[in-house]
Amino acid sequence: MTDEESALLQTASAAEKCGDHSAAINAWQQLAFITNRPDYLCTFGLMAQKLGRWHDAENAFRDSLRADGELWLAMASLGSLFLGRTDGDPSTNAQTAKTWFEKAVAVTPSAISLSLLGAAHIRLGEKEDAKRVFRKAIELDESYEEAYFNLGLLLADDGNSQEAETLLRKATQLDPNYHQAHGRLGILLQQLGRYSEGDAELRRAVEIDPTDTTAKHYLDNPAGRVGKSKI
């Protein structure tokens, strides 16, 4: 490592610690430029994406792929970029995101890349494809709580309450602090008329994240409770 590279790494680290995003991203950009290292390029791209610098992020990820054509992280990062960017046509961006996630899965099948692909399928309205890849993610990594959660949401929306409950509970067991999973499980239990259980899950969601307005709403306005006995 050269003295220049070492100095820039120290600058980037110090800037990140004190929250100076402008100085941090400038340091990473210089590191990427002078070294052309794929990992530095990806780091710069991710920071640019957080700041909404879509074109800078896209160029960085593409440059990292030119340096290493098999870098699945760069492919997945490009997919995430197109899934989240606010410029361009949303449908076209979602289709581009799906293409990049498919490439990432082809290079390195993983629960993370499959879950990201599932998110792209959902954005495009391809629910059955989304279910398929979430199930594949669970097969690859039975401890990946996000796949259980996302599949549970889809099944709950389809009225498959029994399997949805099982999946959402699994997500909360794998990560007891997963407030979205507690909240969505609470809503499902309310819809099934199991109000005490539902309220407990919703309270847990709010306990973990007091800003969870959805969980608070369902605690204050339990759907379908009027005229029914509380279990």
DSSP 133: H
Q: Is residue 159 part of a domain?
A: yes
pLDDT over 50 (residue 230): no
Summary mean pLDDT of the chain? 92
- pLDDT surpasses 80 at 212: yes
64 domain-assigned: no
- Given a cut of 60, whether residue 227 has pLDDT beyond it is no
Alpha helices in the chain (DSSP H): 3-17, 21-35, 38-50, 54-67, 72-84, 90-107, 111-123, 127-140, 145-157, 161-174, 179-191, 195-208, 213-220
Say what percent of the chain tops pLDDT 70. 96
**50 pLDDT more than 80:** yes
- What band does 217 get if pLDDT is binned at 50, 70 and 90? very high
* pLDDT band, residue 2 (cuts 50/70/90): confident
pLDDT class for 1, splitting at 50, 70, 90?
Answer: confident
Q: What is the pLDDT of residues 124-148, one digit of tens each?
A: 999 999 999 999 999 999 999 999 9
Give the C-alpha separation, 20 to 10, whole Å. 13
Percent of the chain with pLDDT over 90: 80
The residue segments making up the domain with residue 200 are: 142-231
pLDDT of residue 184: 97
| Digit-coded pLDDT (tens) for 172-211 | 999 999 999 999 999 999 999 999 999 999 999 999 999 9
Instruction: Note whether residue 147 is domain-resident.
Output: yes
Q: Would 111 be classed as within a structural domain?
A: no
What are the angstrom distances between the C-alpha of 49 and each of 22, 26, 52, 217, 223?
A: 13, 14, 5, 32, 39
CB atoms within 10 A of CB 212: 19
pLDDT of residue 223: 58
What local confidence, expressed as pLDDT, does residue 21 receive? 85
Q: Residue 222's pLDDT is what?
A: 64
Q: Does a structural domain hold residue 179?
A: yes
Q: CA–CA separation, 134 vs 148, rounded Å? A: 7
Decide if 132 is inside a domain: no
Total tally of structural domains belonging to the chain: 1
Residue 164 lies in a domain: yes
pTM of the predicted protein model: 0.84
User: What pLDDT score does 12 carry?
Assistant: 86
Average pLDDT over residues 151-155: 97
* pLDDT tens by residue, 66-92: 999 999 999 999 999 999 999 999 999
**Domain containing residue 215: CATH number:** 1.25.40.10
Question: Residue for token digits 């109000």?
Answer: 195
96 found inside a domain: no
pLDDT above 50: residue 231: no
Structure confidence at residue 156 (pLDDT) = 96
